[in-house]
A and B are shown apart, each in its own frame.
Chain A
Amino acid sequence: NAGVTQTPKFQVLKTGQSMTLQCAQDMNHEYMSWYRQDPGMGLRLIHYSVGAGITDQGEVPNGYNVSRSTTEDFPLRLLSAAPSQTSVYFCASRRQGGYTFGSGTRLTVV
């Protein structure tokens, strides 16, 4: 039982490049979500999913796409990276009584 696994752990992108941040959970949780964490801003919700085939926007969705084809996986796509997307990204899944977070992806856009 690995919990929530995020890959990669670190990534540097050039402005305009695209990439996908991977998130997988092996706990059969229906609800999954993506957050970004910036200094002084706390954790802000990007997108979330209540189950396979269903996604919705959070507080800061612009510049990010998601899909949920399986219960296990919830990838986050940056179609054209911008320096403002430099951040630490966390994926989480909801269990009874709380959320389990991955260890994060530190993304730098230059």
Chain B
Amino acid sequence: TQLLEQSPQFLSIQEGENLTVYCNSSSVFSSLQWYRQEPGEGPVLLVTVVTGGEVKKLKRLTFQFGDARKDSSLHITAAQPGDTGLYLCAGEGTALIFGKGTTLSVSS
């Protein structure tokens, strides 16, 4: 069974701080995807990383895929209250498997 361990589970920070969310597995995935979910809505895709060592940037968000394609990280620079939400990593093999998510709260 493929498992994705996501940490931390909860994160509460002040506006302007930086943070990193980690997603680790013992399995190799063909891609690693990051989603953001708002209350009462379904997850929305932020980014997909495919190549080992790949780095993608989305404004203040930086996503990295590990060289062995087993782990990934999400770094947010200068967090804002609008970044508040549930962040989910997901690995794609025969199906899409999710980590348990990181609940981020950014206060002003």
Q: Which listed residue, B33, B96, B100, touches A45 by the CB 8 Å rule?
A: B96
Instruction: For B42, give its contact among A40, A48, A104 (CB under 8 Å).
Output: A104
Closest Cβ–Cβ distance, residue B1 to chain A (whole Å): 8
Contact with A along B37-52 (1 / 0, CB 8 A): 0001111110010000
Interface: A101 (CB within 8 A): yes
Those of A34-72 within 8 Å (CB) of chain B: 35, 40-45, 48, 58-59
Contact A33 B96 (CB under 8 A): yes
Q: How far is the CA of A44 from the CA of B40 in the complex (A)?
A: 17
* CB–CB A41/B45 < 8 A: no
With A43-B43, A99-B33: A58-B95 Cβ-Cβ less than 8 Å: yes
**Complex Cα–Cα for A90 and B37 (A):** 12
Known contacts A98-B33, A99-B33; decide if A43 and B98 are in contact (CB<8 Å). Answer: yes
Q: When the two chains form their complex, are residues B95 and A33 in contact, meaning their CB atoms are under 8 A apart? A: yes
Q: Which of A55-99 contact B (CB under 8 A)?
A: 58-59, 90, 92, 94, 97-99
Tier of interface size on chain A:
20 to 34
Check if A43 sits within 8 Å of B48, measured CB to CB: no
Whole-angstrom distance from the CB of B103 to the nearest CB of chain A?
11
Most B Cβ at <10 Å: residue of A42, A58, A101: A42
19 further A-B contacts with Cβ under 8 Å, apart from A59-B1, A101-B42, are A41-B100, A42-B6, A43-B43, A43-B88, A44-B98, A45-B95, A45-B96, A45-B97, A48-B95, A59-B97, A92-B42, A94-B96, A97-B31, A98-B45, A99-B43, A100-B45, A101-B43, A103-B42, A104-B41
Closest CB pairs A-B (n = 8): A101-B42, A42-B100, A98-B45, A43-B98, A97-B48, A42-B98, A98-B48, A101-B43
B residues near A (Cβ < 8 Å) are 1, 6, 31, 33, 40-45, 48, 88, 90, 95-101
- Chain A residues close to B by CB (< 8 Å): 4, 33, 35, 40-45, 48, 58-59, 90, 92, 94, 97-104
